[in-house]
């Protein structure tokens, strides 16, 4: 059975999205580590716990971004 030619762009887009997501995640972790090091004078052994309100704020921001990305495929 031949693969559907219209699914080729979907596979490419999923791979590109996965790679972009991984790179963004590594970048975010790098920035977080830098901020913890800067706060603790470069001698950070462990980060301080993240406040739940900060985690919820970041989560809502990510959901808003995902909603905007989902709307890119919609017509105007």
Answer yes or no: is 59 within a domain. yes
Burial of 49 (0-12, 13-18, 19+ CB in 10 A): exposed
Instruction: Output 56 or 45, whichever has higher pLDDT.
Output: 56
pLDDT at 23: 97
pLDDT confidence tier of residue 3, bands split at 50, 70 and 90: low
For residues 44 and 37, the answer to whether their CB atoms sit within 8 Å is: yes
pTM: 0.71
The confidence band for 1, taking pLDDT boundaries of 50, 70 and 90, is: low
Residue 66 in any domain: the answer is yes
Does residue 2 belong to any structural domain of this protein? no
Distance CA 76, CA 73 (A): 9
Could you give the number of structural domains in the chain?
Answer: 1
């Amino acid at each position: 059975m031949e693969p559907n030619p219209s699914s080729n762009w979907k596979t490419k887009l999923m791979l590109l999205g996965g790679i972009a997501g991984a790179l963004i995640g590594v970048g975010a972790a790098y920035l977080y580590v830098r901020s913890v090091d800067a706060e603790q004078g470069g001698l950070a052994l462990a980060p301080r716990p993240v406040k739940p309100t900060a985690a919820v704020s970041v989560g809502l921001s990510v959901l808003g971004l995902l909603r905007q990305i989902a709307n890119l495929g919609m017509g105007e």
